[in-house]
Amino acid sequence: MTTAAPPGLWRSHDFRQLWAAETVSQVGTQITLLALPVLAVAVLDATALEMGVLTALETAAFLVIGLPAGAWVDRWRRKRVLVVSDLVRALALGSLPVAYVLDVLALPQLFVVAAVTGTATVFFDVAYQSYLPSLVARDQIVDGNGKLEASRAVAQVAGPGLAGILLRFLGAPLLIAVDALSFLLSAAFLGRIRHVEVLPDRSARRRLRSEIAEGLSFVLRHPLLRRIVACTGTANLFSSISGTLLVLFALRTLGMSESTLGFVLSSGAVGGLLGAVTAAPFARLVGEGRAIPLSALLLAPFAALTPLAAAGPPEVLLVVGVFGFSWAVVVYNVVQVSFRQRLCPPALLGRMNASVRFLVYGTMPLGALLGGGLGTWIGLVPTLWIAVAGQALAAVWVVSSPLIGMRELPDDDALSPARP
């Protein structure tokens, strides 16, 4: 059963609470995405290798506990998982401004906070994507994901620019307190959701290993999901290389100020907002199946504008690059995530999402460490060009698949492997 009213998602009380929680949390998160690396670079004088470690720790949990997290989430109440994850992240991030005020802030604490918040994010993300289909009607899933991606895109537009301005007045450590408060507010909105979840019968549970294997098998044996996961995982590996070095590149190589970098990222992130708004019309225009490889093909050309910014004009090239890259990523995500949610049986959603996140996010800490190491060894600009080449390779997985010739994506088990 679903709780959303078929005429429109905004009439659904529960969806509005989920949307509000995601929106306020995303604004705070986007602020911290700039404030945390600026804190490491400008306040604690982190090197390229230390930035690689910091970035790797933020996503390492997807690789370490990503698979069992999905099985656990399928056994627990997803709303409770979401609220607890928000509270853990609020507490961890709140420790940073406290340590700064007490003059005891150091890189090891940043590493611990990155690991703790990354672990909480694993549980939140798995529960979050598994929760939406229980709150809305089946034919509203794409619309729901589009609205949630729109809030994420708005946060990406407003967050970095706001962070750049506030960095001048508050400084990075105190600005992180804003994100801690945003997670508290997110938990409050989630607590207002009325939907009552029905937990699976405990007597029907099997060994954790068997349940994990079922989710992983569903993803890897499905011919289309397998290609999509390979593309996303490869793209994330190389985008983590560039993401690890972006703040170092902008502040030290390009000589940008922190506020200018915030403005550049905000202006470019407008592309993500446009992607959220145009994802569904774009998919209808070119076909759902084709929308995935076509958007993947656009990643490399726009990613190339980042290293080209070293030749100038840096602000213009970075804005255009981030704009186009964000548009392509959001369109790709809206279409493929909606496809996964429609395709997967409800009882398997948590394990399916966890398996996907293990495979596609598990490459990110490896990319971060690789970016830190290569940035130290061969320099920032050559490493950024390696990341561009990797984005081009990522698209091959879906461009050479049946997706390129498909208008409609299946919404049942028609292409799924036979069940035992």
CA distances from 257 to 42, 168, 262 (A): 11, 10, 9
Contact indicator for 227, 336 with CB cutoff of 8 Å: no
Q: Which two tokens stand for residue 20?
A: 């509000």
Helices (H), 39-106: 48-64, 66-75, 78-101
Tokens 């407003």 sit at which residue? 158
Q: Which two tokens stand for residue 153?
A: 């895109």
Interatomic CA distance for residues 354 and 365, integer angstroms: 16
Tokens 């996964």 sit at which residue? 340
Our measurement of the distance from residue 79's CA atom to the centroid of its chain's CA atoms, rounded to an integer in Å, reads 19
Interatomic CA distance for residues 388 and 299, integer angstroms: 8
Q: Which two tokens stand for residue 365?
A: 């800490």
Q: What is the pLDDT along the chain (420 residues), one digit of tens a residue?
A: 344 344 477 777 888 888 888 888 777 777 777 788 888 888 888 888 888 898 888 888 878 887 777 777 777 788 888 899 999 999 999 999 999 889 898 999 999 998 998 888 888 877 876 777 777 776 777 677 777 777 776 676 666 667 767 777 777 777 888 888 889 999 999 988 887 766 665 555 567 677 777 777 888 888 888 899 999 999 999 999 998 898 889 888 888 887 778 777 776 667 877 887 888 899 889 888 899 999 999 999 999 999 999 987 888 899 899 889 989 998 998 888 878 777 777 777 767 777 887 888 888 889 999 999 999 899 999 999 999 999 999 999 999 988 888 888 776 554 444 333
Show the domains of the chain with their CATH numbers.
10-191+208-415 (1.20.1250.20)
Q: pTM for this structure?
A: 0.71
pLDDT recorded at residue 205: 55
CA torsion, ordered 282, 288, 290, 293, to nearest 10 deg = 90
pLDDT recorded at residue 206: 62
Contact indicator for 123, 68 with CB cutoff of 8 Å: no
Interatomic CA distance for residues 151 and 140, integer angstroms: 17
Interatomic CA distance for residues 388 and 393, integer angstroms: 9
Q: What is the CA radius of gyration of the chain?
A: 21
pLDDT recorded at residue 113: 92
Query: How large is the angle between the packed helices 48-64 and 107-135, nearest 10 degrees?
Result: 40
